[in-house]
Structure 1
Amino acid sequence: MEPAVCNPRVNVQGHDGNDMLSDDEKQAIDDIKGICLKTVELGTKLHREIYALEEKAEPEHNVLYDERKKIIDGLRQKHQGDPLAKNMGNFWLHVLKAAIQQCPEFASTNEIDDAEAEILCHISDIRSKLYTEPELKFDITFYFEPNAYLRNDYLRKVYYIKCKADPKEPQAYDGAEIYRTEGTMIHFTSPALNAKYRKTFFFKFFMPPTLPYSNEPNYKEINEILKKDFRFGFYLKENVIPKAVYYFTGEIKESMGSSSSTDDEDYDDDGDNNNNEDESGSAGSDSLDPNASEDEKDDDDEEEPEDVHVYGELLDSEDWSFDSGDSMDSGN
C-alpha cells in the first residue's frame, strides 16, 4: 500500500452555507461529522493492520532475497573488473541506473555518472525493512563489499510514516503519509574522495535537507525536492528491490512503458491543484508545517517524534565528511 507524499487540505475557510441552517440541522451536521471521524479512524486502523501484515511477511521475502544474493555472490568475483561493464559483477549498479531512468521524476535531471559507478559497483545487496513499532517507518539499506572508497559497510535511508487523522480536520486524511526521512553519515577513506563524491546524486540521497518555514524563500524548492525523495524511496522499496532482475535486463522498461505515460497524463491533469497547493505555501496537512500552532502539534500521534513537521533531517554538507562524528546510523 503506497503512503501518500502529502495530503492536500480541504478548504473550509471560504463560503459557509451553515449560517442558513436551523439549530437542529446544525446539530445534525455535528453528529454526522462525529460519525465521519469514526469512519476515518477505522480507515487508519485498517492501514496500520495492512502494514503489520506486510511486516509479518518480510521473513519469507528475505528467504527469497537470500537465495538471490547467493546466486549473485557466486558470480560477482568471477565477472568483476570493469565497473562500467554490464555483467553480474556489477548487478546492483546497473539495477540502480535502470531504476533512475525509469523513475519519471529523476530520469531527466539525475544519473549515476562514471565516477560514482566506481563505488557503486561494490554494492553487494539492497534490502528494505518495515517497522510498525515503536513507530511506523521503513528503511532502504545499501550493503557494500570492502572497497577502497568507503569505510561504511552499508548506507541506510529511513522513511517515517504517519498513519493518523487530525480530529479537527478528518477530511484531509487520504491514507498513510511519509513525513520525514533520515540518512546515514558517510565515511569516505580520504578527504580527496569526500570532496569528489559528497555532492554527487547518489551520495546526496543520504543527506536530505530540512523543510524550512513556509514563509522562507526556498520553501517551495526544498518541498519539491523532498516530495521526489519520498516517492523515490517508496519506488525503491516497492518496485526496484523485488523486481531487480528485470531492471538489470531492461525488461522493466517495456512493462512500464504504457503506465509511465498514463501517470504523466494524470500528473498533468492534477497540475492546477498542485499549483494551488504551492501558492498556499503548504506541502500537505498543517501538521507538517513548522508554523503549526501548539494545539495542532499536541494532537499528533504520541508515537510520532515531536518534530513531525520536519520532512528531512539535515546533515550539514560542511560536516558531512570522511572523518565526521557518528550520526543516527554510521553504517560501520
Structure 2
Amino acid sequence: MSEGDGTASSKLSEDFNLRASLMEKLPLEIKRRVRALKKLQYETVKVDVAFYKELFELEMKYDVEHQRIFNQRKAIVNGEKEPDDNECDWPSDDEHPTADGDDVDKLCNEVDKKAIVMEENNKGVKGIPEFWLQTMRNVSLLDEMIQEHDVKILKHLTDVECKLHSDEPGFTLEFHFSQNEFFTNKVLTKRYFFNYDISPDEPFEYEGPEIVSTKGCVINWNPGKNVTVKVIKKVQKKKGGQAKRTITKNVQEDSFFNFFDPPALKDLADFKLGQFIRDSIVPRAVLFFTGEEVAEDSDDEDGDEDEDDDDEEEEDEEDAEVSFV
C-alpha cells in the first residue's frame, strides 16, 4: 500500500469512527427513530428487488422482438439474405465530412481509390465477411484477449447470441461457428447465473441482481488444433555425456477460447465481461463493427508484471519445440 493509500484509508477510518461516536451520543429517543428509518430503508430495498424481478420478466417479453431483429441481422451478415432498397434506406457512411484544405481532398480521393479496388476484389462475396471478428477486435477489452492463433478460428464465427433463462435468473451467451478444422462444436456457450438476494451483512449495498457464477462448455478440439494448450518438447542433456532425453509438458496458452473455461472461483472481471457482451456487444454489434461505438478501456493492472512473466516463460522455452495439443 502506498503512503497516499494509507492516508486515505486512515482518513476514512477516522470519519467512520467520528460518525459512530456522534450516533452513540444521540438521545435514546432519536436513536429509536433512526432505527425506524433504517427499517423503512430496508423496505425500499425489498421494493427494488421486486422491481428488478419484474424488469427481467419485461426483458424476456421484449426479447422475442429483439431476437426477430437479430435473426434478420444474422441472415444479412452470413449472406443468407440480400437487403432490398427499402431495408437499406439509411444515411450512407461513405459521405465525406465537410472540411477545408487540399489535404482533406487528397485523403478522400485516396480512400475512394482504395474503395474501388476493394469493391473489385470483393465482387461475388456474400454477406459481411468476418463481421464478428472485426466487431470484437474493435473492442479493446476483447481485442486484448484475442491472440494471433485465435484469429483464423474466429473468422468462422457467424453469430453471437444472448438467450435469457426462463427457468432461473441468468442468461447464456452463444457463439455460433461455421464448419472448421479446429473443433467439432457448432456452438460454444457460456452461462451466467445471478440472484436477487439481499446480503444479510450489507443490505443497504443492494444495487440489483448480481452474477454469482458461470459455466462454460467443453470444446471438442481436433487433434493438434487446441490453441489453449501448447506442448513444449525440450531435449535435456544428462550429466557425464550420457544419452539425451526429451521432456514434454503441457502449458496453458493465452487464448480467447479460455473464456469458455471459467475459473472455479468467482471472477468479477469475467462477470463484467459477460454482462458487457450481453448489454452492449450483442444488441449494438454493427456500431462496434463500424467503430462508431467505443467501449471504455479497462484498468490494465499488473500489466508490467504479466509482461515480465511472459519474458521469463519465453526464456525457459528457448531451444524448445512448441506445438498445440
TM-score range, shorter chain: 0.5 to 0.7
Aligned to 2:206: 173
- What does 1:49-198 align with in structure 2 at a 5 Å threshold? 49-74=54-79, 88-99=128-139, 101=140, 103=141, 110-131=144-165, 133-193=166-226, 195-196=229-230
| Count of residues paired in the alignment | 226
Report SS of the residue matched to 1:252. coil
Report SS of the residue matched to 2:77. helix
Q: Using structure 2 for the length normalisation, give the TM-score.
A: 0.60
- What does 1:163-312 align with in structure 2 at a 5 Å threshold? 163-193=196-226, 195-196=229-230, 199-211=253-265, 226-253=267-294, 260=296
Report SS of the residue matched to 1:140. strand
Task: Compare the two structures and name the one with the higher strand fraction.
Answer: 2
Deviations 1:182-226 (A, max 9, x none): 211111011553534963331111112133xxxxxxxxxxx7xx2
Report SS of the residue matched to 1:68. helix
Which has the larger displacement, 49-58 or 170-179? 170-179
Report SS of the residue matched to 1:231. helix
How far apart are the structure 1 equivalents of 2:39 and 2:147? 55
How far apart are the structure 2 equivalents of 1:252 and 1:43? 31
> Identity of paired residues, percent?
28
Cα distance change on mapping 1:63 and 1:29 into 2, 3 Å: same
Cα distance change on mapping 1:149 and 1:196 into 2, 3 Å: farther
TM-superposed deviation, 1:134: 3.7
Q: Which runs of 5+ in 1 are unaligned?
A: 1-9, 212-222, 272-320, 323-332
The answer on whether the counterparts of 1:161 and 1:179 sit within 8 Å (CA) in structure 2 is yes
TM-superposed deviation, 1:250: 2.4
Residue identity matched to 1:208: P
Residue identity matched to 1:137: G
Report SS of the residue matched to 2:129. helix
TM-superposed deviation, 1:111: 4.3
Which has the larger displacement, 18-27 or 227-236? 18-27
Cα distance change on mapping 1:187 and 1:45 into 2, 3 Å: same
Deviations 1:225-275 (A, max 9, x none): x2222222111111111221222222324xx6xxx4xx88xx8xxx9xxxx
How far apart are the structure 2 equivalents of 1:249 and 1:13? 49
TM-superposed deviation, 1:63: 0.7
Residue identity matched to 2:284: K
The structure with the larger Rg is 2
The answer on whether the counterparts of 2:189 and 2:217 sit within 8 Å (CA) in structure 1 is yes
The answer on whether the counterparts of 2:79 and 2:128 sit within 8 Å (CA) in structure 1 is no
Report SS of the residue matched to 2:280. helix
Report SS of the residue matched to 1:251. coil
Report SS of the residue matched to 2:61. helix
How far apart are the structure 2 equivalents of 1:32 and 1:250? 49
The answer on whether the counterparts of 2:161 and 2:175 sit within 8 Å (CA) in structure 1 is yes
TM-superposed deviation, 1:156: 0.8
How far apart are the structure 2 equivalents of 1:13 and 1:121? 54
Deviations 1:255-302 (A, max 9, x none): x6xxx4xx88xx8xxx9xxxxxxxxxxxxxxxxxxxxxxxxxxxxxxx
Report SS of the residue matched to 2:222. coil
Residue identity matched to 1:166: S
Report SS of the residue matched to 1:155. strand
How far apart are the structure 1 equivalents of 2:29 and 2:172? 51
How far apart are the structure 1 equivalents of 2:25 and 2:270? 46
Deviations 1:60-110 (A, max 9, x none): 01111111111122279xx9xx9xx9x8222111111112x2x4xx66xx2
Which has the larger displacement, 66-75 or 151-160? 66-75
Residue identity matched to 1:38: E
How far apart are the structure 2 equivalents of 1:169 and 1:25? 23
Q: Using structure 1 for the length normalisation, give the TM-score.
A: 0.59
Residue identity matched to 2:157: I
